[in-house]
Amino acid sequence: MPADQSLLSQFVQTFVPIFIAIDAIGNVPFVISLTEGMDRGERRHVINLATVTALIVGLVFLFFGQLVLKLLGISVGSFAISGGIVLLVLSIRYITTGHIVDVVKEEMVAVVPIGTPLTVGPATITTLIILANQYSLYIVLLSFLLNIVINWVIFTAGGWITGFLGQGGVKAVSKVFSLLLAAIAVNMMLHGLELLGLITLPK
């Protein structure tokens, strides 16, 4: 019985940080914005591909995170800054042109920015690497996989929100959240600079 409690405790202590880092609920508005104008089939394709992308990126860093960063000479801080730049460029493009790319390619939007860095970005990668050093690998893996499933369910539910708001409502919401996406991008870059020890952010 104590062993079971210990496993449950480890699961909770790994599941919660990953859930917070992925922030699926907080990312729903951005998924709605980025899939604006797509029909249900295209949106489902984007969500599925984004989920697979997030899963692969997460697994790579869970098993080989420290090795990959070390071999490439990349710090988590640098990764955070680059992810922030990508999000900032995409958000500015949306604000100024009304779309992410000239020709909407579901695969492009699904992989970047929904799959990474929105779903599995610097926060999730850092969390996975830290947890893998503190807990049993299979517990962290289980927590991550369950979070990915939950993330898919929440993103899929975003389609219902789109249907409720209608195209006009989605366009209005998209404009607002594109500004928030830019703010998240800036925050991500600042966090990267802090990880590199270049600045100190107020707590």
Predicted pLDDT at 107 = 66
Predicted pLDDT at 147 = 97
Predicted pLDDT at 149 = 97
Predicted pLDDT at 99 = 61
pLDDT along the chain (203 residues), means of 10: 65 91 82 80 90 95 85 82 80 72 60 86 84 88 97 87 69 72 82 87 78
Among 12, 4, 19, 20, smallest CA distance to 144 is for: 19
Distance CA 154, CA 169 (A): 20
Predicted pLDDT at 98 = 65
Predicted pLDDT at 153 = 93
Predicted pLDDT at 103 = 41
Concatenate the DSSP letters of all residues of 149-185 into one string. Answer: HHHHHHHHHHHHHHHHHHHHHHHHHHHHHHHHHHHHH
155 CB burial (10 A radius; 0-12, 13-18, 19+): buried
Among 79, 104, 77, smallest CA distance to 90 is for: 104
What residue spans define the domains of the chain?
Answer: 28-195
> Please, what sign has the CA dihedral across residues 141, 184, 89, 201?
negative
Predicted pLDDT at 157 = 87
Q: Full-prediction pTM beyond 0.85? A: no
Predicted pLDDT at 54 = 96
